[in-house]
Structure 1
Amino acid sequence: MKKVRVGIIGTGYTIGIANQHVAAYRANGRAELTAIYDILPGRAAEWAAQKGITGVTICESIEQLFGLVDAVSLCTPNCTHVDLAIKAMEAGKHLICEKPYALSYEEGKRAVECAKAHPGVVALIGFNYREIPAIKYMKQIIDAGTIGQVYSCRQELGGARIADPTAVKLEWRMQEKLSGSGALADFGCHMLDLADYLLSDTQGKICEVQAMRSTMIRERTVIGDENRKAAVTNDDIAVFNGRMPSGTLLSFLSCRIGMPRQMMEIVGEGGMLIFNGNPNEVEVWLKEKNGGYDGSKRQIVPVPDECKGEEGHKGLVNEFIDAILDGKPAVRNLERGLYIQYILDMLQKSADEAMTVKL
């Protein structure tokens, strides 16, 4: 059986996203982890030893890695994504790029143009929340028309890893020139992808946005210099809204300093659907489209088997490998990433200029 030889670029020192890619490739029977590269000398070898990864080549350059693999995962800071993606595509390598894949829409267009010039290359963005079984089930219910016209969609997504400023120093994620916007882009891109995935087929594309964002922890200790602090230059918290052509309103809360959860609530004329973080159940409260709510009809519904499967990066990698070997559609492609980046840019414009922006 043919296997796709895969390389990891960037082993990281913060959330360890490369770990998720490695686990996903190992779970896929048609992928083979072959090579690893990190820009810091010695870090790739140290990381591989810590994770018990053997039988791979620790590369001294990206060019060496390209010579050993068919595909790569880009697990590097946001500011490097576009240039590395272009370099990989020009070398004929398939790729998964972590999100958000650009610092701006204009920057992201360069990678999309390169992808168009290399149609044989599969290039995906790491939007990995679609595989959550509860999300799939909610889409099934919405597409079936069970709750009719959707009135609103409210989401919350965040984390608490960097909540303690005395324990977590100034990382690249906290610097706008390296990361772009903070919580707005980091968690917001996932929520925008999910809102569009769930609702655009029935409610249309997002046509209007507005946002506010704040930096609450304004400085942190510089890595490598315990006696010096420097400014955090992007947002810790973002609140943003959107409107779809049907009139459906969207509301989002993104927080990286103390909200380690995911929540989604969708309200329609025929009832509401609530996802509270349990991937295998959805709270369903149906009603007559011209009637009121009856508490006896509120129930927790287990997700049916047809909505289950590999979650997170495992599902993303399955789509990637299937596209490479079987020619199946690559839905989460660079154009998808560019579309989400455009909305993020407009949200940032809204926040910076205190205005509603029409798309």
Structure 2
Amino acid sequence: MGTNKILNIGLIGLGGMSNYYKNLISTIETIRLGAICDVNQELVDKVGEEEGIGQERRFIQIEDIIASSDIDAIVAVVPNNMHAKIVELCIKNKMPIMSEKPFAMNMEEADHLKKLYEESPIPFSIGFIHRYTPSFQYAKQLIDENAIGKIRYIDVKYQQSFGAPFYETPYLWRYDQKISGTGALGDLGAHMIDSARFFVGEFESVTALMKTFIENRVDPATGEEREVLVDDFTSIQAELKNHVVGNFITTRNAVGSANQLEVTIYGDAGTLNVNIERPDEVRLCIKDSDEEPVWKTVEVPEEHRNKSVLRDFASLIIDGEHSNVPSFVDGYNSQLVIESVIQSVENGQLVKLDREEK
């Protein structure tokens, strides 16, 4: 980066995922945690004491932290129904923001943000953190170098197990359609969509299936069962740029899958496989001799091991440059795919996408 400037980050949302970003902030020399915000005053004070954040930089109102003159950028880690509101406030206050995914609750929100952003653009990133997994970064290099030849087919699955019946997972906000919008699709599927766009290119069309396996879960606040209206499982078949065929499956009910985002890409000259549970290795099956191609495991070079969305976001703010930080357009186009999947399920037909070009 071109200067010695250190950015003060305002962190909105102090739930479980905020721990990831707090730890990440501490590893990047150009940013520091400057302020925190959450609706839970007790949690704000607890985290404030742990992080050495003074009372004057502890907020419970998002409007106040976004308007603060002491803050250089916002990182928002909040439930899905708050994403669009926070991004809108940041645009209106000309405050750089890195927002968690999904981009919005629906295309109405997404289109509104697009209009505001085009009128008054700001440094923006969206939390597609998995494209920064070292193996994903190296795989992207191999694809760009044509290591597996012309790509024909991409297979992606993102599976977790916490929703399986024997875990007795209660009715959390992720199961509340008014807060989450969708279930596995927006939670995990958004990362599948970004991975495919990162490696291959834009989606051209989708057909999909969505299912709710566990139709009722116990609300811990009342002890009563509440109906679950979001998906436990989504399957997508798609055509992407250059006629690449895609197959996608996501669920939070896959027993034995801890946090399994796995991508396999099939080309004319070979196949490539990456998995975020194996962050430092790429599996390749490439014909590089007269013998039959065989699978081999390749270690990720050191140059790909210290990248992160926040590091690139800081570079974007300070220098106006970045490597491959997920942009506003990435967030918008991902939302368009999600909306098209829902539309396909509702109408029982293939949906062609009209997307925003980069």
> Structures share a fold, TM > 0.5?
yes
Using the alignment, how far apart are the partners of 2:53 and 2:340 within structure 1?
45
**Corresponding residue for 1:54?**
52
Q: 1:233 aligns with which of 206, 229, 232?
A: 229
**Corresponding residue for 1:306?**
303
Deviation sequence 1:103-133 (CA, Å, 0-9, x none): 11221122222222323x2111101111112
Using the alignment, how far apart are the partners of 1:350 and 1:274 within structure 2?
28
**Corresponding residue for 1:99?**
101
Which aligned pairs between 1:51-130 and structure 2 lie closer than 5 A? 52-56=50-54, 57-65=57-65, 66-67=67-68, 68-119=70-121, 121-130=122-131
**Corresponding residue for 2:284?**
284
**Corresponding residue for 1:217?**
214
**Corresponding residue for 1:264?**
263
Q: CA deviation at 1:146?
A: 2.4
Q: CA deviation at 1:331?
A: 3.8
> Is the 8 Å Cα contact of residues 222 and 230 (structure 1) preserved in structure 2?
yes
**Corresponding residue for 1:339?**
333
**Corresponding residue for 2:180?**
179
Deviation sequence 1:227-260 (CA, Å, 0-9, x none): x111111001111111124332111111112332
Using the alignment, how far apart are the partners of 1:286 and 1:237 within structure 2?
33
Structure 2 unaligned blocks of 5 or more? 354-358
Residues 220 and 166 of structure 1: is their aligned pair in 2 closer, same or farther, counting only changes over 3 Å? farther
* 1:187 alignment partner, SS class: helix
> Is the 8 Å Cα contact of residues 235 and 249 (structure 2) preserved in structure 1?
yes
> Is the 8 Å Cα contact of residues 62 and 86 (structure 2) preserved in structure 1?
no
**Corresponding residue for 2:9?**
6
Using the alignment, how far apart are the partners of 1:129 and 1:85 within structure 2?
21
Residues 63 and 83 of structure 1: is their aligned pair in 2 closer, same or farther, counting only changes over 3 Å? closer
> Is the 8 Å Cα contact of residues 153 and 251 (structure 1) preserved in structure 2?
yes
Using the alignment, how far apart are the partners of 2:60 and 2:342 within structure 1?
38
Using the alignment, how far apart are the partners of 1:151 and 1:62 within structure 2?
46
Q: 1:351 aligns with which of 340, 345, 354?
A: 345
**Corresponding residue for 1:326?**
319
Deviation sequence 1:62-94 (CA, Å, 0-9, x none): 343232312111111111111111112212211
> Is the 8 Å Cα contact of residues 7 and 31 (structure 2) preserved in structure 1?
yes
Using the alignment, how far apart are the partners of 1:184 and 1:342 within structure 2?
13
> Is the 8 Å Cα contact of residues 153 and 265 (structure 2) preserved in structure 1?
yes
> Is the 8 Å Cα contact of residues 165 and 217 (structure 1) preserved in structure 2?
no
**Corresponding residue for 1:148?**
149
AA in 1 matched with 2:352: K
> Is the 8 Å Cα contact of residues 78 and 179 (structure 1) preserved in structure 2?
yes
Q: CA deviation at 1:160?
A: 2.3
Deviation sequence 1:122-168 (CA, Å, 0-9, x none): 11110111111211222222222222121211111122234357643
Using the alignment, how far apart are the partners of 2:328 and 2:309 within structure 1?
14
Structure 1 unaligned blocks of 5 or more? none
Residues 229 and 5 of structure 1: is their aligned pair in 2 closer, same or farther, counting only changes over 3 Å? same
Using the alignment, how far apart are the partners of 1:246 and 1:115 within structure 2?
29
> Is the 8 Å Cα contact of residues 115 and 123 (structure 1) preserved in structure 2?
no
Deviation sequence 1:20-44 (CA, Å, 0-9, x none): 1111111111112121111233232
Query: In the alignment, is residue 20 of structure 1 matched against residue 13 of structure 2?
Result: no
AA in 2 matched with 1:45: D
Q: CA deviation at 1:288?
A: 7.0
**Corresponding residue for 1:32?**
32
TM-score by length of 1: 0.89
Using the alignment, how far apart are the partners of 1:10 and 1:240 within structure 2?
31
Residues 288 and 303 of structure 1: is their aligned pair in 2 closer, same or farther, counting only changes over 3 Å? closer
Q: CA deviation at 1:95?
A: 0.8
* 1:116 alignment partner, SS class: helix
Q: CA deviation at 1:47?
A: 4.2
Using the alignment, how far apart are the partners of 1:34 and 1:288 within structure 2?
52
**Corresponding residue for 2:356?**
none
Deviation sequence 1:167-202 (CA, Å, 0-9, x none): 4321111122211111112111111111111112xx
> Is the 8 Å Cα contact of residues 209 and 235 (structure 2) preserved in structure 1?
yes
